[in-house]
Amino acid sequence: MFVYNTVIHLHHTDAAGILFFSHQFEIIHDAYEALLEKIGFGFAALIRKKKYFLPIVHAESDYKAPLFVGDRLHVEVAVEHIGETSFTFAYKLFNAKKQLVGTARTVHVTVGKKTQKKIPLPKDMRKAIQKLK
């Protein structure tokens, strides 16, 4: 499991100061980017040097409790599944009181840059993701 900590900023909220629903996806994507950086697959290198992309082909999110400007957020990212060409991450979002305030899932597929077709998950990436289990 990987842990990402952040805070709810004003730009994450609606006029009532509550987390705007789509921004939960931004927060989990920030956690995902931090996770990839930690395991050696940061987006800068992926985009510039690798022969594949990792598009999200499915995303879902549930909201369990409101978050407000200034709330501290603890995001846990776990490997839910590793397939031949894809992987799935599950996210749990907790507030400072350790209350579960949201959950999410993202499914990522490995796609060749030139062909735009699914390709097997590269061995080095598979190994790095498996270490998170």
Catalytic sites, residue numbers: 14
Helix (H, G, I), strand (E, B) or coil at 5: strand
Return the residue matching tokens 């900590």.
5
Amino acid at 22: S
Q: Tell me how far apart the alpha carbons of residues 67 and 87 are, in angstroms, rounded to a whole number.
A: 28
DSSP H helices in the chain: 23-38, 43-49, 123-130
Ramachandran class of 78: left when φ > 0, alpha when ψ lies in -120 to 50, beta otherwise: beta
Ramachandran class of 84: left when φ > 0, alpha when ψ lies in -120 to 50, beta otherwise: alpha
